[in-house]
Each structure stands twice: as structure tokens, then as C-alpha cells.
Amino acid sequence: MIFTPEETRYILQKNVTDQAFGFGFWSHPTPPSYHPIRGSSIETFQKCLANGSYTSEDLVRTFLVRIAEVNDRTHAVVEINPDALGIARALDREREVSGPKSLLHGIPILVKDSISAHGMNNTAGSYCLAGAKTKNEASMTVRLRQARAIILEKSNMSQWDNGRSSADNASNGWSSWGGQAYGVYTLQQDLCRSSSGSATAMAMGLAVATIGVETVGSITYPAMESNIVSIKPTAEPVAKDNVIVAKSRRAVGPMTSTIKDTAILLTFMAGKSKLDTVTKLVPFKKMPDYAKSCNRNALRNARIGIPRNGLNNPIGVNINMAAIMKAFGDAALLMQKNGATIVENANYPAYDDVYSKAPQAIYGPSEYGLDIAKFFKELSINPKNIHSIKDMIECTKPNPLEEYPSHNIAVFENVEKALRFNSPEVAAASKQMKYLGAEGGIDGALEAVTADALILPSVICSDIPGFAGHLTITVPMGFLPPGTPVTKKSEGRSDR
């Protein structure tokens, strides 16, 4: 946890305690009735900022205290923006003089520690990048600042986006830089993928909204485990420059309390960037206002498919599958009551090949090595002089803070000996992955039954969208029944 001296003094002098997620600081003598900071919408915060109930500075100070209260148990936040209070004051003055510039004006937001934000470290969870600086701030971060959002903090994550240790050794949410991030619903809860800190921060009310990064499941699974809303968009709308590691299928997406908040945030995050050529594929001169699509009649006449063969995902087998499927059935029925037609057996055409062919085992390491080298070239300050996977290995192994060999470097070693990215084998694997995700996956299923969208429980849905870089939306589906046993994993984390 990193606090500036001013922030530390303020917390110690005020000696505040948790006020049931209420606001602890006020710039006027009489506090109004508060609303929860956890679960409240962006529009609710903006309404209170507009009517003078509190200021953006009040918000920042409250979130700082909330972080201090809970972060030693969850390890969700790894760094505070040292300029956050000054930025909040400036945005409060701007609001007084000329009004808010957008729905994000003065709204504190957290970004994952793989997204470059000037004034803070961008470590991907490793001491090897401590103190390193990129030449440019991530385009997505710049867009949020232009909308007058406050980049308040950085979130913990699985080190190198689970790109260091083998699957049987990796610990979801662990990084040497931030420690072991946990969820909020059981003691030492495992959040399943790399955007763990962003999900926990959202669930605990440590920011108004948070940002995660995903290739396969890294936003979707933590959002599911944290009972929050998320959107993993396609690769094109949100620029991925100065994001570690900007793979072709990777996407940057919002994690919030409501569908409308994710739409609002995505509207401001998205847009073309000269630093990410993929964004040229966006077909709009001006990005649409996604929040306008959020209405109660949106499901009328929609055809929603259920790929029943996707329920046989061998990775997604869960001891609580009966309860999950009961909740899933109730959710499908609710969609039907709101005007949707549920189409059964909207099956993936090539589903049997998804786990037997495993082209990602060839393509993934090759692309990883290429992209990480590109990122290192963008560093203006590189204290550890890291330029390649080999350098990452040489930096990691002797540093006791990196906890090697208890956390192995099997992924690094696989990347080091991976096939060249321009090899025929990698090209073939890339083609097969896109097929399994698109024509043999989602596109093929949609076309076969003329459906508008597919639905599955989040626990088994992320692999195929990840292959083709397709969009995934996660929404809460309730809770497991009372008395559901908590199981412990070998690393000591909890699962349910």
C-alpha cells in the first residue's frame, strides 16, 4: 500500500472508522443523508456532486479511508495516485466555474496495474518494472482524464496477467508487487483470473468504477466471483497501447455496479488512437453513446440462444453446478418474461475441437514474447534494463521479493523457446483459434438459429469468446444456497 504523506496524516489525524459505507468527510458543516459508496451508480454520484451534497475532494478522501480500512485484508489496491487530491480540487473548481464536462467529471476510478497512468508505477505485478515509465500514457487513460475522471489508484493483479507461472503453480491474484489479492465473499476467496484487484475494489467500494484487462476470462471470472457487472469488449473499440501485454485478442473493459455504468464508462474509454492501429477498424467517426441502449424494452423481440453443448466445458465443471444451473434457468426465464425468445440448442458447431486441438498452446507463447518486447521498447525509463523474456527471467530468479522458485517461471520458459510468431505453425494456430471462436463457435451458433446473442453461466463462458476476441458481458446471477461449503485450494485460497 502506497500513501503520500498528506494522505497518511489526514487518515491518522481524523481517526475515522467505517461508517457502513457512508461518507466520512464533508466540506460543509452539516452532512446530508448519505448514500452507499458501494453499489451506487455514476449518475447518483453526479447528482450529489451537482447539488453540493459533497465534492470530488470529499469523495477521494472517503475512498482513501475506505482503502486504508480494508486493503490489508484484500490487497486489492497497490498504489494511490499522489496527485489525486490536487486533481479533485481542480475539478471541483472547474465544476463551480463552468459546470461538469461529462458524466465522469470528478469521478474516482481505479485502473489495473498493467495500464499505464502517469504519476504511478505500471508494474504488471513485478518488481522488475518498479520505477519504469512509458513514453506515453495509455490512450484509454488519456481519454478518461479528458472526460475529467480522477485516476485514483492502481489495482493488484495476477503477475504478468498469469503470464509467469504454470497453471498448477500460479495463484490467481498474486503478484510480488502487491501480494495475494482476495475476494470479499469468503475468507481468502480465489477470484479465478488476473483482474482480481479491480473486481475486489469494485465489490468493496474502493472506487466508483474500475478497469480490468482480459484475453480469456480475466475480467469475466473475477466479476462473476465478486457479483458485479463487467463488459469485456471486442479488441477494436478501446486502445491497448501502453497496456501490458497488448495481445491481439486482449481487451480493456469496465467493471462496475450496473449495466448502465459499464456502458457509460465504455463510451468514454472507446475511440480511435494513433498508438493502436487496431482501433482503425472501429466503423464510427464518433463513438456511440452506449448508455442509450440501456432501456427496459431492449429485450423485446430479441432472440437469445443457449449453446447447450457449451455446458460440457471440462474446465468449468463446478461442485455447485446444480445451483448455478438453477439460477441460470431463472435468469433465462426472466429474459423471456421481458420479451426475449429463448432459443435452445444454439450450439457451437466445432465445440468438440475446442479443448482437443488447443491451438492457444502454440499461438499464445509466441504472441506473448513478441508483444512484451514491443512494450519494453515503449519505456522511457527502464531501471532494470529489461528488453526481453530472457531479461525477465534473469531479473526474477535472483530477487527474493519475486518469491522464486515457490512461484515458478514456467510460462517465461515456454515463451523463451516458443516458435517464431511468423512461423507457419503459429499462423495455422491463429487461424484455427479464430475459427473455433467465430465460425466454429459464436458466429456459427448465432447464424444457425438466427439469434442476436448467446447466454451461458459465466463460469463456463469465457474461452470461446476469447479465441475470437468477442464481447462478453457479465451480470450478477445471485448467490449459492445458504450452507454451501467453502472448499480450500492447495494454496490456501477459498473456492465455492
Q: Cell numbers at residue 137, please?
A: 500514457
- Whether the link from the prior residue into 405 is cis, omega within 30° of 0, is yes
102 catalytic residue (yes or no): no
Query: Could you confirm whether 384 is annotated as catalytic?
Result: no
Judge residue 448's burial from the number of C-beta atoms within 10 Å of its C-beta, 0-12 exposed, 13-18 middle, 19 or more buried. Answer: middle
Give the three cell numbers for residue 232. 469485456
Q: How many residues does the chain have?
A: 496
Contact yes or no for 300/336 (Cβ under 8 A): no
Which entry of 40, 56, 112, 430 is annotated as an active-site residue? 112
| Nearest-5° Cα angle at 22, 21 to 24 | 120
Most distant CA pair in the chain: distance in Å? 70
**Whether 217 contacts 190, CB under 8 Å:** no
The catalytic position among 56, 116, 176, 218 is: 218
Contact partners, residue 122, CB within 8 Å, separation at least 6? 113, 114, 115, 116, 129, 132, 133, 134, 154, 242, 244
Chain position carrying cell 442476436: 452
Tell me which residue of 319, 70, 317 sits closest to 207, measured CA to CA: 70
CA proximity to 112, closest of 159, 167, 45, 145: 159
**CB within 8 Å of 336: residues ≥ 6 apart:** 342
Q: What phi-psi label fits residue 217: left (phi over 0), alpha (psi between -120 and 50 degrees) or beta?
A: left
User: Rounded to an integer, what distance in angstroms lies between the CA atom of residue 68 and that of residue 227?
Assistant: 23
Told to judge if 194 belongs to the known catalytic residues of this protein, a careful annotator would answer yes
Q: What is the DSSP secondary-structure string of 200-229? A: HHHHHTSSSEEEEEESSSTTHHHHHHHT-E
The full DSSP string for 296-352 is TTTTTT-EEEE-GGGGG-TT---TTHHHHHHHHHHHHHHHHHTTPEEEET---TTGG
DSSP state of 95: H
Closest CA to 192 of 439, 432, 463: 463
H/E run at residue 150: strand 150-155
- Cα–Cα dist 478/334, whole Å: 13
Q: How far is CA 394 from the centre of its chain?
A: 29
CA-wise closest residue to 328 among 308, 355, 314:
308
**Which of the residues 40, 56, 165, 194 is marked catalytic?**
194
Catalytic positions, written as ranges: 112, 194, 218
